[in-house]
Amino acid sequence: MNLAAARKRAGELREMIAGHNHRYYILNQPVISDFEFDILLNELQTIEKTFPELVTPDSPTMRVGSDLTEEFRQAEHQWPMLSLGNTYNENDVTDFGERVRKVLGYEPEYVCELKYDGVSISLTYEDGRLVSAVTRGDGTRGDDVTVNIRTIRSIPLRVTAPGAPSSFTIRGEIYIPRGDFEAMNAERQAKGEPSFANPRNAAAGTIKLLDPRVVASRPLDCFLYNLLGDSLPADNHYDNLMAARSWGFRTSEIIDRCSSIGEVLGFLSLWENQRKGLPYETDGVVIKVNSLQAQQLLGNTAKSPRWAIAYKYAAEQAETELLSVDFQVGRTGNVTPVANLRPVLLAGTTVKRASLHNSDQIDILGLYYGDRVIIEKGGEIIPKIVEVDMTQRTDDAVRVVFPHECPECGTPLVRNEGEANHYCPNYLHCPPQITRRIIHFVSRKALDIEGLGEETIELLWANSLIRNVADLYYLRHEQLASLERLGNKSASNILAGLNKSLTAPYHRKLFALGIRHVGETVARTLAAGFPNIDALISASGEEMESLPDIGPRISASVREYFSDPDNIEIIRRLSAAGMTFEGKAPAVAAKGPLYGKTIVVSGSFERFTREELKSLIEAAGGKSAGSVSGNTSFIVAGSDMGPSKRAKAAELGIKLVTEAEFLEMIKE
């Protein structure tokens, strides 16, 4: 076969294979057997191997994954990937409809779609070819994982349908069907490999793998649900999705147009139970205003669109047996109890562990080993024990007792007055505390050192290359490159990241040290009050407590840290490596809707993390505090708010506000 004949035959094979892929993965109407399909694909692979110049990025052979990619580059989103506001309450859905009517002046048409429990992806096509696939990331930019997404057979590599714009972006959710997930886990168990926790985590981890061949071997699929571009076929969301379906994209059949919020509520009710029979995970319904013009009028907040909302179904519950309790030690010495359970299926995943938070939670539940317990997933993510069936408790059951000594080093545990957690004070010699502090030091919110994640830190520790954070800056290229899973390029990236971190802002370095009770806000306050670390080291408790939000507990912790010769030696070695500990932290707002107020944030939230809420408090002129006192103005209370904080608030008559009420206060 000459080049011209090969080019002609390769084109024919690509068209045939693309057509069969569409029939199999999109329409579920295959017309040839798997064996016949493999013959066509093998013929194309043979031609491309013989004539490498004929290989194209959109060839079906690219779906098998061929090369090891060393890293993912960051890519900007042309349109921000915003998060949706969540609610578990039908009244909130009605309120959403009223807000929309108030702005538009009329009742719009809505579109209801199931909310898939997967990983968001943004696909961009130019001249009919898939040119990029980018993860959500921070909403503005994400990881370009195009090489991996090409392996997913339900995603078209080319769009040749008439009417498709020359340039467009389509977004959706990568997921693994339930049956495929169970089969994949069974295969891993047979090979002695660890099982994946749930389909979403498996999908998220898979699309970030560096070997596309492994990605191609896993049963990833994708639903597309949002079309973006300058030349869309219709002026409404629903018709655009139907157009995308006609071009070959996989969109859900479960989608409905509703002329009122009443019809929306009917859709929510219909699918609350029916969704459980679907072959993939869902956790709610996304409600969108259909008209693109209305969407534009309604606009967006900084984080989410005002024209859409996600309704989440109530968490499912399951009953199982409490087998044992592990007591885990964190970087600041906090000891967290984790329940080990008899494996049980809950919301589509097998649950084996659940958080117990602290000793108070154990006492409230009155747990005994062997108890039958009711578990649910908070927000369908984090398993927790919510109830104990005491009628099934045996006479010889043994009560769960929180330990008096550190389970790792044997040091007597400490619990300070007004705190919910016990902690191990042996921070210098308790192994998990040391490694977790090093992991904290390199983390994104601290010094954000590229290439140094949790696994790499544990690898360095296991090879006795580090014993504290200062050791990181004395690592040599040959030491790193010789380690398993690293190599020359990774070693160079790590050393470059360490060098870059030497000039990070002063307050982030203070936060990175991992001083107990010194979070991001306190570190910024200390940096503003003491412009270099020598001044902070020599500061008295009174001098520290003269600063906003610095009380006796924090000042005592800081002085204790710097009174230890080993910590002073770490600071000295960091300085000798070129790290500077001086500067001024950015000023926080002096005026604002929360000016003069001291606010405590406690629990888990839907829209923001606790750290983000604390930043919003400061931006609005308020002060964020870690503990409840007579000076507390109010508490922003989320789910799982600590029982000791709740009791203290009740005792002092301090108001609890929800996340939504707080955002209304600051007019977010």
CA-based max dimension of the chain: 87
* CA–CA dist 177, 185 (Å, integer): 12
- Can 623 be counted among the known catalytic residues? no
* Token pair in block for residue 330: 């964190």
Strand 86-87 and strand 308-312: the pairing is parallel
Indicate the residue type of 269.
S
Show the 3-state SS of 59-87: CHHHHHCCCCCCCCCEEECCCCCCCCCEE
Strand 634-637 and strand 655-657: the pairing is parallel
- Supply the Cα-derived Rg of the chain in whole angstroms: 28
**What secondary structure does DSSP assign to 448-514, as a single string?**
--TT--HHHHHHHHHTTS-SSGGGGGG--HHHHHTSTT--HHHHHHHHHHHHHHTTS-HHHHHHHTT
Cβ atoms of 292 and 235 within 8 Å: the answer is yes
Angle between helices 610-619 and 520-529 (to 10 degrees): 40
383 SS3 class: strand
* Token pair in block for residue 435: 């490694």
Residue 127 DSSP class: T
All residues at 6 or more sequence positions from 578 whose CB lies less than 8 Å from its CB, including other chains: 473, 499, 502
* CA–CA dist 275, 377 (Å, integer): 17
Measured in residues, the chain has a length of 668
All residues at 6 or more sequence positions from 390 whose CB lies less than 8 Å from its CB, including other chains: 366, 371
Exactly one of 8, 49, 115, 276 is catalytic; name it.
115
Angle between helices 454-462 and 431-442 (to 10 degrees): 130
111 SS3 class: strand
Single out the residue of 132, 136, 183 nearest to residue 155, CA to CA.
132
Report helix, strand and coil shares of the chain as percent, to nearest 5.
40, 20, 40
* Token pair in block for residue 244: 């995308």
CB atoms within 10 A of CB 223: 19
* CA–CA dist 510, 550 (Å, integer): 15
Residue 289 belongs to what H/E stretch? Answer: strand 282-289
* CA–CA dist 60, 13 (Å, integer): 9
Q: What is the dihedral of CA 624, 626, 629, 634, to 10 degrees?
A: 50
267 SS3 class: helix
Single out the residue of 636, 506, 525, 486 nearest to residue 582, CA to CA.
506
Cβ atoms of 253 and 27 within 8 Å: the answer is no
* CA–CA dist 367, 389 (Å, integer): 10
* Torsion over CA: 326, 329, 333, 339 (sign): negative
Angle between helices 178-190 and 199-206 (to 10 degrees): 80
Residue 169 DSSP class: E
Which of the residues are catalytic? 115
